[in-house]
Amino acid sequence: TVDALREIVDWEHGLVAPAIHFDEEVYRVEAERVFDRAWLVVGHEDMVRKPGDYITNYMGEVPVIVVRDAQGEIRVLVNKCSHRGNQVCLFDRGNVKGFTCSYHGWSFGLDGALTGAPMEQMLYRGELDKAAWGLEPVAQVVNFHGLLFATFDRSAPAFESWLDADARWWLENFVLSTPLGGLEMLPGWHRYRSPGNWKLVCENFIGDDYHVYSATHVSWLAMIQDFMEQGVRIPIITYPGTTDGPMYEGSAGGNGRGAPMGMGMVVADNDSLFKRDLAEAQELGPEAVDWVEYRREKLLELAQGRPVKPYSFMNGLVYPNMALMGFFSPMLGRHFQMFHPRGPVEHECWQWTMVERDAPQVVKDLAVQRVYQGQHGAGVIAPDDVENFERMVEAGKPARSWRRPFHYGLQLGHEDEGPKGLPGNLGPNPSEVNQRQFYRFWLEMMERS
């Protein structure tokens, strides 16, 4: 199947066969060629502020510990005891002086070095080569405005070239909000398992706005409409997803210049969102109004000299598996979602919530409420997606149906019909240009032996 990938992933014609979402062999090879090679997000520096602070996460299916060592350096270590493979860290997060394995009691420092073994002198007679038996570190770690990326691949392209300049511009300005003081990560995170290959969810977040307005989320949109018509400010439900102005869909790093890093996104360019934010801010008080106005000015500065003035970035995906969500408005928290593979037909969704660091508390509180009650496992949006995935898995599991390709042809041939003058390549929204790019990147990595 892997040899035949080119036949079943014809991204140029918008055709992708379901085999890549179900086949065990593809899944096995993908672990080596995608997850063992890519730069993957593993956390945020806010999660590990002090020496000894740690979180646990996954790179593909490999459990890792992200920890700040005594010298203040952030390390990413495989969470697997070098003695016999037990996990040495059993919790999601905390602060420790080191890690002690619960099987035979070997202990490791914050830098991963083996520091001792029970009854070491008596049993190992001074012959245990401790320097050789530390925890395995990942090959490279980078802190990008607080977001921590890691790769297992010693020969992976440098992070600066993995992340091309276009993708960097969007990430810095609209995702991480660096001109606005950056983001604040809220403690803890939320996670759930769902049916569906990890790529199915990723292609959903990279730009499938089609499903939002056409079918899956219409009940949510109708509910919001009702609230608005009744003049009820929407206290608990995620901000309306529709805009009066134009929206564009595009990819940075995916515009044919061969950059290895793909980032799909949906961009909104209009005044109506700003006006809506302002109206809401007026209800929240003068501090909120000041923030919304200040924010608008900063964004206009950024757009100076450009024909299009982007106000927000709605959703996107940093290839391969970190989704970005909720960037319409400062009244929305940002969600960073990781889709960890768990076998060909299941994934685990991890969701972190972030707010704009310098926003007033009333704005942050509203944003957080909306994250938790919207695109969340128990919110009013995500369960509708999960239901679709469940049925797709049931229908797609029988191998007889793996080769008839699915249709990814929305706006095929119209990819360049968006505005010029902004980084990346913007086309119309909704479209499937980002999904096509996603499978192009995936195929490139899978074909590199």
Chain residues binding Fe ion by CB under 5 A are 385
Nearest to ligand FES of 117, 338 (CB atom): 117
- Supply angle C-alpha 429, 430, 436, rounded to 5: 100
Nearest to ligand FES of 103, 124 (CB atom): 103
Answer for the pair 268, 310: CB distance below 8 angstroms, yes or no. Answer: yes
Q: Select the binding partner of residue 292 from ligand FES, Fe ion, none (C-beta < 5 to 8 A, by kind).
A: none
CA gap 262, 260 in Å, rounded: 7
What is the closest distance, in whole angstroms, from the C-beta atom of residue 104 to ligand FES in the complex?
Answer: 3
What is the closest distance, in whole angstroms, from the C-beta atom of residue 64 to ligand FES in the complex?
Answer: 16
Residue nearest to Fe ion (CB): 385
Q: What residues form DSSP beta bridges with 265?
A: 250, 316
Q: Select the binding partner of residue 106 from ligand FES, Fe ion, none (C-beta < 5 to 8 A, by kind).
A: ligand FES
What is the closest distance, in whole angstroms, from the C-beta atom of residue 125 to ligand FES in the complex?
Answer: 18
CA gap 397, 383 in Å, rounded: 21
Q: Select the binding partner of residue 101 from ligand FES, Fe ion, none (C-beta < 5 to 8 A, by kind).
A: ligand FES
Nearest to ligand FES of 83, 145 (CB atom): 83
Q: What is the CA radius of gyration of the chain?
A: 23
Q: Is the dihedral of CA 380, 384, 390, 393 positive or negative?
A: negative
What is the closest distance, in whole angstroms, from the C-beta atom of residue 217 to Fe ion in the complex?
Answer: 6
Q: What are the backbone dihedrals phi and psi of residue 420, each rounded to the nearest 5 degrees, phi first?
A: -100, 165
What is the closest distance, in whole angstroms, from the C-beta atom of residue 106 to ligand FES in the complex?
Answer: 4
Q: What are the backbone dihedrals phi and psi of residue 236, each rounded to the nearest 5 degrees, phi first?
A: -120, -10
Choose among 402, 97, 370: nearest CA to 241: 370
Nearest to ligand FES of 83, 298 (CB atom): 83
Count of Cβ atoms closer than 10 Å to residue 23 Cβ = 20
Nearest to ligand FES of 49, 104 (CB atom): 104
Q: What are the backbone dihedrals phi and psi of residue 150, each rounded to the nearest 5 degrees, phi first?
A: -140, 155
Residues that bind ligand FES (CB under 6 A): 81, 83-86, 101, 103-106
Nearest to Fe ion of 190, 357 (CB atom): 190
What is the closest distance, in whole angstroms, from the C-beta atom of residue 187 to ligand FES in the complex?
Answer: 29
Q: What residues form DSSP beta bridges with 15?
A: 10, 407
